[in-house]
């Protein structure tokens, strides 16, 4: 699986931690920035990652900002992206099973590093259930787009 990752300054520390974790697990990723803790604008990174996922260059994307909210609002503007803001393991699993989310967003000011990594691991390792009712609901979102 190829994963696109990005953050603003508010999510930089967890992004760096996540990179080390992905490397350890042998998961291929590309870091779309930001590359320091200098203040920057989260939509710039949300669009880079979300568009790369929408183009099919990456199966999944992970975006981190201070709250995870700005990243999820911006990423969900990109056609074909289903970004899920998750701050607990139950939601991370459920959004893969039910929504086939292709982007995960988290807030570094909301969750600690241990929980963030567990959420990311759960989300990456859970497959879409493929059940008809969930497909039908996702199709309604795609049709609306």
Which positions lie near ligand RB5, rule CB under 6 A?
A: 8, 10, 42, 65-67, 69-70
The CB-nearest residue to ligand RB5 is 70
Q: Does 86 qualify as catalytic in the annotation? A: no
Q: Least Å distance between CB 11 and ligand RB5?
A: 6
Q: Least Å distance between CB 102 and ligand RB5?
A: 20
Kind plus residue range of the DSSP H or E element containing 88: none
Residue number with CB closer to ligand RB5 (42 or 58): 42
Residue number with CB closer to ligand RB5 (51 or 108): 108
Instruction: Give the DSSP letter of residue 64.
Output: E
Q: Are 6 and 31 in contact (CB under 8 A)?
A: yes
Residue number with CB closer to ligand RB5 (95 or 105): 105
Q: Are 106 and 11 in contact (CB under 8 A)?
A: yes
Exactly one of 9, 86, 87, 98 is catalytic; name it: 98
Q: Are 59 and 13 in contact (CB under 8 A)?
A: no
Q: Least Å distance between CB 56 and ligand RB5?
A: 27
Nearest to 55 by CA among 74, 31, 79: 79
Name the one residue in this structure whose structure tokens are 């696109």. 4
């Amino acid at each position: 699986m190829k994963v696109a990752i990005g953050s603003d300054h508010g999510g930089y520390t967890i992004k760096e931690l996540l990179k080390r974790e992905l490397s350890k697990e042998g998961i291929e990723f590309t870091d779309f920035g930001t590359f320091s803790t200098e203040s920057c604008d989260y939509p710039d990174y949300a669009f880079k990652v979300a568009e790369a996922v929408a183009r099919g260059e990456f199966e999944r994307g992970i975006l981190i900002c201070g709250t995870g909210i700005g990243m999820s609002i911006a990423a969900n503007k990109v056609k074909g992206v289903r970004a899920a803001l998750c701050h607990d393991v139950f939601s991370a699993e459920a959004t893969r099973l039910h929504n086939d989310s292709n982007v995960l967003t988290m807030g570094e000011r909301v969750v600690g590093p241990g929980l963030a990594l567990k959420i990311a691991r759960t989300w990456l390792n859970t497959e879409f259930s493929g059940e008809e009712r969930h497909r039908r609901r996702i199709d309604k979102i795609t049709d609306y787009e």
